[in-house]
Amino acid sequence: MDKVTGTFTELDLRVLDDKADWFVVLKDFWYTRGEFTYLVEANTETDLASIPKALRPFFSRTGKNIKAAVPHDHMYGMRYATRKECDKLFYLMLLDLGVAKYKAWLFWAGVRAGGWTRGRW
């Protein structure tokens, strides 16, 4: 049986001058995994990985994980599915990007623990 892996289109972002630590997606950004596809439309705003400032020395908001963080942010904002389902997709996206399993798990544990702060679920 073939292992299902996901693919991403190129992610094109620009820093927002009027919002510290926020970015705008400049062109449509797609994630595809098997039959599943997810679109983050151009002009969507994101803060990338919502890592508390105290933990940023240990976990980068940038790097290969941002291609997973942008759709995860978008899923939360759109209430795409339950938090649990969005967080599972985030974990799978991290693995698809080649993030080590232990590190993907740490990111997943972080969003499971702190994702409730991103609004009512």
Q: Is the pLDDT of residue 38 over 90?
A: yes
Confidence (pLDDT) at 33: 95
Q: Which of 19-23, 55-59, 73-77 has the highest mean pLDDT?
A: 73-77
Q: Is the pLDDT of residue 10 over 50?
A: yes
Distance, in Å, from the CA atom of 89 to the CA atom of 107, rounded to the nearest integer, reads 12
Q: Which residues face 42 on adjacent strands? A: none
Q: Please report where in the chains the tokens 């994630």 appear, as a residue.
A: 31
Domain ranges, ordered by start, for the chain:
6-116
Q: Is the pLDDT of residue 120 over 70?
A: no
Q: In this predicted model, what pLDDT tens digit does every residue of 68-96 receive, in sequence order? A: 999 999 998 899 999 899 999 999 999 99
pLDDT band at 20 (very low <50, low <70, confident <90, very high): confident
Q: Is the pLDDT of residue 6 over 50?
A: yes
Say if residue 101 is exposed, middle or buried (CB neighbours under 10 Å; 0-12, 13-18, 19+). exposed
Least confident range of 25-39, 66-80, 102-116:
102-116
pTM for this one?
0.85
Confidence (pLDDT) at 12: 96
Residue 39 structure tokens = 């679109």
